[in-house]
Structure 1
Amino acid sequence: MGTARITLGHSDIRIRPIGLGCMGMSQFYGPADEDESVATIHAALDAGVDFFDTSDVYGAAGAATGQEQRGFGHNERLLGRAVRDRRDEVVIGTKFGARPTGNGIEIDGRPEYVKQACDASLRRLGIDHIDVYYAHRLDERVPVEETVGAMAELVEAGKVRVLGLSNVGADILRRASAVAPISALQSEYSLWERGIEREVLPACRELGITVVPFSPLGRAALAGTFSAGTSFPADDFRATLPKFRAENFAENLRLVEALKEFSEARGHTPGQVALAWLLAQPHDIAPIPGTKRAKYVRENVAATGVPLSADDLAELAGLFAPDRVRGGQYGDLAVLPRR
């Protein structure tokens, strides 16, 4: 990865433009080997990756998805183990607000829970401060001003460096920013999921918020590894998502085939081109592609060297115009229970 860095929102934190999402090392995308996951994190560090993303709820899929639980906090403990001796090389982002109950996952944004969750994350990660602390989902029963106010107190206490939000709209961003500086917004954004472009991206530009796209490779679909006959087992989250359902998936893969032809003609992988398209957007963007394999980390990092002309960018945007992509962002998990 090159030496170019971006500044994360309202902070002095400077990161390289391709991070690593660690969620799949604990849940959602089938089985994962813990030692291999640690080796992948180490390979990412060696490749120059310095921005790592986790959440306290990763590993506790449970009843909400029908998946086996590895345990609430599993992913934080895994990441903490992997970077224990290299803390000064990493910027760690983690999230709170979604926690398991007997009936699945509930959302809790009460100020007292914000502080409890932060202390628990610090213990699991084995660190004395969190670099970027996000509200994973907002509790609709608690005004965002109260949740963010409690998060701001964590900054004052030295437990958190900067604040972030996840999966929120422009109005919430403005209300939250009136309470405390918001440095990062984590939302799904990729060639085939562009719902934030109309209102959320302009609000981020207005408010000086860095966008941190999760699933920037369309949950691996944009990497070009699937075929129309691909099926996903019950423990793979993609089986629940509209874009991956049989009636939509075959049509969406036709767009991916065109992306593959575009990429191969230029000597790159489709995943690299998809990431390069994001990096070329007119805003500070720090995608966090997730993987459990070191080879894909190195492939993703190489996307920073993929040149795309204005015509290339327009062609890709047209290929994946929102009205050409079939299926919405989420299925049954669009609404999670609140307290």
Structure 2
Amino acid sequence: MDKKQLPGTNIMLSPITYGAFAIGGWFWGGADEGDAIKAIEAAIENGVTTIDTAPVYGMGHSEIVVGNTIKGKRDKVQLLTKFGMIWDAEKGDFAFESKDNQDKPVKIYKFNGKQSVIDECERSLKRLQTDYIDLFQMHWPESTTPIEETMEALEILKTQGKILAAGVCNCPVDLLERANAVLPIATNQVAYSMVNRGIEKDLVPFCLKNGIGILPHTSLQKGLLTGKIKPGHVFNHGDHRPNTPYFKEHNHKEVMKMLDAVKHIADERDISLAQLALNWTMRQPAVTSVLVGARNASQMLENVKAASFILTDEEINNINNALLQIDLIL
């Protein structure tokens, strides 16, 4: 599996990153920890050596599972985690109300204060059972802390060797420009998929000009682009997807029509629609590595296959033409 360089570093990332969002057991209707461990092990054994997590995924649980699983394999993986979504203090911008894995109510806040970032890093290092993080990312911008202050914290952590590179997530161009003026930003992790292409207008050109990589998340549009979730699907308790725009009835049907239009490409290559969507995403400008979740080893192995081929320019054009026909109401 050909690797890509994390901009501004000597770190090489796998073209697919294991996204450890769901294995926190929170927000997606629960997860089996044993299956999650096997999924991570399958990823590493098959060349997907980059793992992305965050403290808020299960209130620390995702990081703990990752840390336990990579014990003895730290030199084989690249650890990406985040900071700035807290549940133990009411600081910064209120984000949303949720429940922890014990079904207890929690309030999540976005907060990127300098000392808080440094403290969060220490806690993440302990949960991940490592002495350094390859890429430490600001999870969300917030209004109470100047981004320059947040970057100063990352500069301190980088000087101390506790992080090797600084990144941001969900960051618009104006804030990304300010952050990059303080400390070189390696990546911006943002939502991007075949049906969610808003970043192409301004963010992608800025990243290309400034040598910043894009780490797309939600590239399968929360499972919608697999083609397996049909209209009328009944989701598990606690699963947030039915309330998201792309799963509303009209949009769901529009995406299904698009998938029907490109299915022949997948059939001719003997690949799945998910593998087609992931490979399309890998081919897009400025993309360094595509985040994909997997609840078990079988799902992970399916994702690995997405990096085993290269779509031709003709196939990309055919897919893009099909995407132009979608009429989404967002």
TM-score by length of 1: 0.88
Distance 2:123 2:169 in 1: 20
1:87-236 to structure 2, matched below 5 A, reads 87-100=74-87, 104-236=107-239
What's 1:63 paired with? none
* Distance 1:208-1:237 versus aligned 2 partners, 3 A rule: same
Identical-residue share of aligned pairs (%): 32
What's 1:75 paired with? 62
Say whether the 8 Å CA contact 2:216–2:287 is kept in structure 1.
no
Cα deviation for residue 40 of structure 1 reads 0.9
Secondary structure in 1 aligned to 2:16?
Answer: coil
Cα deviation for residue 147 of structure 1 reads 0.7
What's 1:289 paired with? 292
Instruction: Work out whether 1:42 is the aligned partner of 2:29.
Output: no
Cα deviation for residue 223 of structure 1 reads 1.4
Cα deviation for residue 326 of structure 1 reads 2.1
What's 2:100 paired with? none
CA-to-partner distance for each residue in 1:137-169, whole Å, 9 max, x for gaps? 112111111111111110001110000000011
Distance 2:254 2:237 in 1: 22
Distance 1:103 1:212 in 2: 28
Say whether the 8 Å CA contact 1:6–1:284 is kept in structure 2.
no
What's 2:326 paired with? 324
Say whether the 8 Å CA contact 1:278–1:285 is kept in structure 2.
no
Distance 2:23 2:251 in 1: 27
**Alignment root-mean-square deviation, CA:** 1.6
Secondary structure in 1 aligned to 2:152?
Answer: helix
Distance 2:146 2:73 in 1: 38
Cα deviation for residue 234 of structure 1 reads 4.1
What's 2:19 paired with? 21
Say whether the 8 Å CA contact 2:154–2:166 is kept in structure 1.
yes
Counterpart of 1:274 (choices 272, 277, 282) is: 277
Distance 1:204 1:304 in 2: 23
Aligned partner letter, 2:266: S
Distance 1:77 1:325 in 2: 42
Secondary structure in 2 aligned to 1:30?
Answer: coil
Number of equivalences? 313
Cα deviation for residue 21 of structure 1 reads 0.3
What's 1:242 paired with? 245
Unaligned runs of 5+ in 1: 60-71, 329-339
What's 1:64 paired with? none
Aligned partner letter, 2:6: L
Say whether the 8 Å CA contact 2:131–2:162 is kept in structure 1.
yes
Distance 1:324 1:177 in 2: 35
Distance 1:187 1:120 in 2: 24
Aligned partner letter, 2:81: T
What's 1:337 paired with? none
Aligned partner letter, 2:62: N
Say whether the 8 Å CA contact 1:272–1:306 is kept in structure 2.
no
Say whether the 8 Å CA contact 1:36–1:292 is kept in structure 2.
yes
Secondary structure in 1 aligned to 2:86?
Answer: strand
What's 1:66 paired with? none
* Distance 1:229-1:262 versus aligned 2 partners, 3 A rule: farther
Distance 1:220 1:293 in 2: 14
Say whether the 8 Å CA contact 2:110–2:142 is kept in structure 1.
yes
What's 2:4 paired with? 6
Distance 1:124 1:257 in 2: 43
Say whether the 8 Å CA contact 2:275–2:306 is kept in structure 1.
yes
Cα deviation for residue 19 of structure 1 reads 1.4
Cα deviation for residue 105 of structure 1 reads 1.1
Aligned partner letter, 2:15: P
Say whether the 8 Å CA contact 1:20–1:52 is kept in structure 2.
yes
Unaligned runs of 5+ in 2: 91-104
CA-to-partner distance for each residue in 1:79-126, whole Å, 9 max, x for gaps? 001101211100000011011257621111111111111111111111
